Structure 1
């Protein structure tokens, strides 16, 4: 059961967390990057259904929230690689719990 003590602070922290990972794609991008550093097109292939424009926007947001790191290599053309930061790795338990909840939810709603 969720605790109601410290409600304003709790609501603020939950809102901050949701803003950092809001939307349909951010957690999937983080999951993709949890396997190791990747380039843009590698992420786009793994996160099926995301457009390049949306992926670019979401990567910028994740970087602004210090959940991923963007490294540019001095090559021609420039090579850009994305990786999860230690702050981003702190979401591992959240991703695990979402995975298990999603399995239970699918079974409850769809019956599979």
Structure 2
């Protein structure tokens, strides 16, 4: 007459090993530009001083086409963030309806679900 709880948990666990949950989102063309930093830094050698310099990796992705823009940036400070966004918009040749930052400090003043 069905599984007991322990048997259900066993078979559910087996099923989750095979199936990874995926959520597909649909976007209208030109509607949203998703913005974030990668978290991992790039290191370059300054050709004048020979010193190693860490750079942030700024990434933008258009929601519908997944067209991606990537830029090395000195920091995540507001000035560098704004410059990177401006460069991305020039790269894309236009402005989407919405810029969607992923809760990064230079773009979000107060976190919210909405």
TM-score, length basis structure 1: 0.27
Higher strand share: 2
Going by fraction, where is helix more abundant, 1 or 2?
A: 1
The structure with the larger Rg is 2
Under a length normalisation based on structure 2, what TM-score does the superposition of the two structures give? Answer: 0.27
